[in-house]
Amino acid sequence: MYRAIFISIFMVFEFSQFLLASYTVKGNIKNIVTKEPLEGVNIFIKDLRKGTISNREGDFSLIIDNEYEAISRLDDVIIIEFSHIAYETVRWSGSPNKFIELEMKEVLLKLDDIVVTSMKSEYFSSDVPVFTEIINNEEIRSASAITIGELMEERAGVSRVYNFDGSFNYNLIGLDSKYILILKDGQPITGKFNDKVDLDQITTANVEKIEILKGPGSALYGTEAMGGIINIITKDSNSSANSQIKVRGINYNSDLKDIASNPIGGDLSYDFLLPFRSYKIYSTVVLQKLVNGKKLSSLGKDKIDKINFDGGISWRSNNEKQNIKLGLSYFERVDSSKEKTSTGLEVKSSSTNIKRNNITLDYKLFYNEKYSFSQSINLNSYTRIYNQTGIDESFYKNDETKESLIDYDSKFNFSNDKYNLTGGFEFSRPTYNSNRVNGGSHYSPTYGQFFQLSYNLSRLYTFIGGLRFDNYESTKITSPRVAFLIKPNADSKIRLSYGEGFRIPSFLEMFIDFDNIDNGYTVMGNENLEPEKSKGITINYEYTNNRSIRFNVLSYLNYFSNKIETIDQGMGNSNEPIIYKYENLAKANYRGAEFSISYLKSSNTSFKINFNARKAIDGDGQELPKTIPYSIGSQLNYNLSKYATRITFNSSSNYRSYDQLDPDDLDDQLYHLLNIRLNYNINQNLSTNIGVKNITNYTHKNGPYVGRSIYFEIIKQ
């Protein structure tokens, strides 16, 4: 009996020692590119509310003692979050007795490892001679933006100009968005309204990064790249199987008491990637809905429904030398509005239906490490139908626009330690049909050949030269570009570039014949328009100490000739009808400078600030309309690692030109927008975002039209 009591006491003692035992979780953290140890990384076990930070050698040690009952056995799985404001957050799961070796990807200061493709050849961002701004995947995810337009609107270097229809005009380096070429995976996007691609029709769900090349880019891409290029890069289908669902609700009025009549929006997105042997199948679906939206723009809609689909299949050979990708995308927007008298009589109703289809087939051959060849065919179609009815026939309208594009592109590439040679051929056949233009359908085949040579003069100097020849109808255009990259030391880079750009007159500018009976004017096209041309210089200086600060300054000068504008054809007689006609009359100069600083205060705090000064004048020295002479933007990020939470403050200040204001509105010449966003990681696979946009509820008749809005979002991996 005494023996049994002794054994029982011994077992109780041993069991209590097990419960009270201390266990140590150890590991080491490095930079995924440089392999250097990372100091100051926050390591946190959420279930146990315990954490520590890594030391100068990247090592960490976390003791788990009395609270270990949350992990009943030594081989149980624990979840540890590794966070640093300058790196992508990593959530690790595994046994607590395992030595953890972790690598983290930097996203704030060192962007040198990001591959840039907007030069039609792959370069590391540190080696690109032409200044290219990169919005990386971490920035896209943390911005909680549904569309590219929404994402761009928060960028500090993008001036905020609003179109008459309430949409956001993404001006870069002082240039209207019709002079910025929009690409998706290097292919042009068709379907424009007022000669501009609506970035609110492109979602961020399947986007890996965005490359913004500032300065003329026609030497590689031809027409429309007069001021720059925005290249939207979708996610690489080489990653492992994954899926994500995101749900967001938006209230566009802070008065929750009257929520039933407030403008309300909702978004639902789902994407997945499924690998099968040598194949990858991917798909993204985004549904967007807005109700009671009448107050949100100058041409407000009662209801807006959008659907985006982006999917495809890719195949890679076993030796990884061949790659084929078939991509499919579809977009549709349906909106409607009604106008009624105070007695409820319907005076006018209107609806718009927009559809865009895109099929892309891409083939790549990597013959060896030096030689590669690729070709792609891009088929685009776009339809926009506007219907209006009313109490009598004077209200009846039916406008239908159809666009299509066939684009074929082939290129070869040779590269070694000294040279990178790229050349290719492009054929494009855009077609346009609208009941607002004369002559029914119009098409204009364009042929282009391009060559680009990059030469590393030494480790410190790189030269790049490019030339493109374009032919459309009887017109031939040559577009050159030269650029230099100088690395005076390990911390600094200097980029100098000169390029020429052009823009073929749009079908609308050449063939429109539109009578606006309501407002008493007529717009006429001009078949004799010449291409708009530009000559641009950019100078960029970049500095980083690779620890806490990154500084960029960009100065630019763009000279435009043959600028197309609408000219009043009246002779001064007020009794004559007002007739506007497109003509090549204008010259213009766009000049300015951008300053940006990224500062890493600690592993939990980072700060970005961007200042822009611009001047846009015509040939007579007069300021061009809708110029934003000055703008400043900032972003503050703060990590509460103990609570798995990140807080982001976004602010922007814009100084309008006088032409955008009435004499009694001069107090609104300078306006400010402030946004706040909070991200909370519930667990390894579930997170939430809550945010407030335009906290001060600022609106103006010339934009912005949307006041304060509140959104809540939940994301399931």
Peptide bond into 188 cis (omega under 30): no
Q: Does residue 467 share a domain with residue 408?
A: yes
**Per-residue pLDDT, 74:** 45
Q: Does residue 169 share a domain with residue 152?
A: yes
Counting DSSP H helices and E strands in the chain, the numbers are 5, 41
- With a cut of 70, which residues of the chain have pLDDT below it? 1-23, 65-76, 108-119, 123, 156-170, 192-195, 237-239, 254-261, 294-300, 394, 516-520, 570-577, 658-668, 702
Strands of 545-669, DSSP E: 549-568, 578-600, 605-618, 630-640, 645-655
Token reading at 269? 């997105």
Strands of 294-418, DSSP E: 303-316, 322-340, 346-366, 371-390, 397-415
Q: Domain of 119: which CATH number?
A: 2.170.130.10
What is the domain count for the chain?
3
Q: Which residue is associated with the tokens 């002479």?
A: 629
- Give the strand pairing for 228-234 and 532-544: unpaired
Q: Does residue 138 share a domain with residue 22?
A: no
**Per-residue pLDDT, 665:** 62
666 three-state secondary structure: helix
What are the two backbone dihedrals, phi and then psi, of residue 667, each rounded to the nearest 5 degrees? -65, -20
Q: Domain of 564: which CATH number?
A: 2.40.170.20
Q: Does residue 376 share a domain with residue 258?
A: yes
* 504: DSSP letter: P
Domain boundary among 85, 104, 123: 104
Q: Does residue 162 share a domain with residue 39?
A: no
**Per-residue pLDDT, 275:** 86
In a domain, 163, yes or no: yes
Token reading at 237? 């289908």
E strand or H helix that includes residue 314: strand 303-316
Q: Which amino acid is at 572?
A: G
> How much is the pTM?
0.81
Side-chain-side CA neighbours of 683 within 13 Å: the count stands at 7
Q: Does residue 197 share a domain with residue 241?
A: no
Q: Does residue 189 share a domain with residue 317?
A: no
Q: Does residue 319 share a domain with residue 468?
A: yes
Give CA–CA dist 288/311, Å, rounded: 18
**Per-residue pLDDT, 166:** 47
Give CA–CA dist 30/39, Å, rounded: 9
User: What range does the domain containing 129 cover?
Assistant: 115-228
Give Cβ neighbours of residue 75 (< 8 Å, ≥ 6 apart).
Answer: 95, 97
Buried b (16+ CB within 10 A) or exposed e, 367-386: eeeeebebbbbbebbbbbee
Q: Does residue 123 share a domain with residue 94?
A: no
Q: Does residue 540 share a domain with residue 524?
A: yes
Q: Domain of 33: which CATH number?
A: 2.60.40.1120
